[in-house]
Structure 1
Amino acid sequence: MTLVALIPAHNEQDRIVATLAGLYRQTVRPDRIVVVADNCTDHTARIAGHCGAEVFVPTANADKKAGALNQALVPLLADLDDEALVLVQDADTVLNPGFVECAVDAMADETVGAVGGVFYGEPGGGLLGQLQRMEYQRYALEIRRKDNEAVVLTGTGSLFRASVLRQVREARLDGVIGGGDSYYSLASLTEDDEITKAVKTLGHRTVSPDGCWLVTEVMPSLGKLWHQRLRWQRGALENLRDYGWTPVTRKYFFQQFMLGVGALALALFLLFAALNLTLVGWGGFSPFWSAIMLIFVVERTLTVRRLGPRATLLALPLVPELLYDLFRQTVFVRSLFDLALRREARWVAT
């Protein structure tokens, strides 16, 4: 069995060494490591070459990450048989040393077409970075509760069967699924979310075992976080619009519906609290509502306890995470409006 790692990179000279070092430390190392240096104006390609990786430079690519990956996959898959495995990993990510071995073991189940990583946030970033790490920690717990089903084959690190990638391209060419005529969709802002739906639509399972964890960057500013999450959310909504209601997408539609319910509930709660304080004033503590609040506090602190005492203390007062949730829900509402008004989606580098 041949295993090839494919790393799309755009101006990642500061991170590419750590990314490659993570691959060289794998208990099961890839047979080939290919860095796809897409429109780089820095030393990413030269550094990758010095570190022993192959370097592929896309030709006149105007289709961002998806276009770069498609160009690299054409010659790569031409030399691989159907049993080969392709690891696609972002250049700002470091895999844990057992990631590849765990992913390959998961592929022993022939119903599994792809394995997605479980991502955690890197250190740093101040308060905003800590809030993102807490969010990612809870997301990892959610995946575990869903029997390790991969909700998204995250671009931070996912392993595909070569045969499945070929099937995705054939399905696009046959019009079974949209997104162009290659492996990754050129019509989606979130190519990893779209290819997850493509793989599942073709009848394959996607999993995220606990051992396939990795560490990825956190957004250092609200501006970058806003653009990242707006791209994620708008892309997810557009993918659902394009795929429509199917046995595969109904879970994703329900997820988006619950996000809307959560946004509405939070808005109504804040409005009620403001009106109550303005018209009635502070009425003291209520035993019932205090008990409800205590349940929330316990849940929020227990789900981040593995991140250490700083995360636990940050979860205790609820207010910082309430504001963070309000930020995320604002992104959701903005994405809905943009989609409904058919505003052109913009890709902003983060």
Structure 2
Amino acid sequence: MRALTVTPGKKDSLRLSQDFSEPDEREGALLVEAVAVGVCGTDREIIAADYGEAPPGEEVLVIGHESLGRVIEDPTGTLEFGDLVAGIVRHPDPVPCPNCAAGEWDMCRNGQYTEHGIKGLDGFARDRWRIEPGHAVKLDRSLGILGVLLEPTSVVAKAWELIDRFTERDPWEPANVLVTGAGPIGLLAALLGRQRGLEVHVLDLATDGPKPQLTHDLGATYHSRPLSDLGFTPDLVLECTGAASLVFGAMDVVGPCGVVCLTGVSTGGHQIPVDAGALNRALVLENNVVFGSVNANARHWKAGADALADANKKWLSRLITRRVPVEDYAEAYAIHDGDIKVVVEFSTS
């Protein structure tokens, strides 16, 4: 069996194993044939040995947390042969903490959760994988390869759920949203904003390539100018880059009673001048909310699956800018200009 593996802690150790062991039944009752995995920055950071943890007692980790597969067998009868599914990435900690015990494992408090392809659990970049049926999310078959977008969609589904909770504070209802960053997370966040009937604005540095047109075709407005020159005041901001200037800029431009959701993970070592006192004053006096959001639980995965099923398939297909066979895996994890979402294909049937 083929599998893409890394040795955690060893830089550039990504390899395609041709004789990897078949998935153990202890991993789950559901047996799935891999169709594809998505590539994201997390994968590249694991390959660079920034983090990553092999399963207990193992030296290597199968990567790939953005999954798409077809059911081979489900002895529990929950799913049928041929169903398209994606595997939920995070599993609750064994203690468990109060949040994990309540099924909110994306909010784990003690850090003992595990994650497929990232932390303590093999990922989905292998010909076959197993998972418990309760951690497999069924997708509309009409999505085909587009189902590989479910993991990032689940992340923004959670972000929107939390935004909705915060905007229930008062009778005022937001009319517009600014999304910073037109990568997969940003464009999918914009998609869910349009599905909510909001006026959507997307800000990104790119002035050519597919991003401006994708934004336009979504019915949103594209900006490649500084935040200070937007020309409007956002009611909501989803920050999807992690760029320090945009993180603080989002807090500065959001309107009164507005909500800023931070989904981008910043890297350290970047210092920018910030008038912390003025920023604090504005946030307090305008009753603004700033919060971070990462990962997702089963509820968000199902909401993401519904959002993809309702989306325009032709538009979604343009988010996948490269489809690379697993044999050419090194090319898939290399960064190319114009990339939005790259997928590694295990099966094209």
| TM-score using structure 1 length | 0.29
Between structures 1 and 2, the one with greater helix share: 1
Between structures 1 and 2, the one with greater strand share: 2
Structure with bigger gyration radius? 1
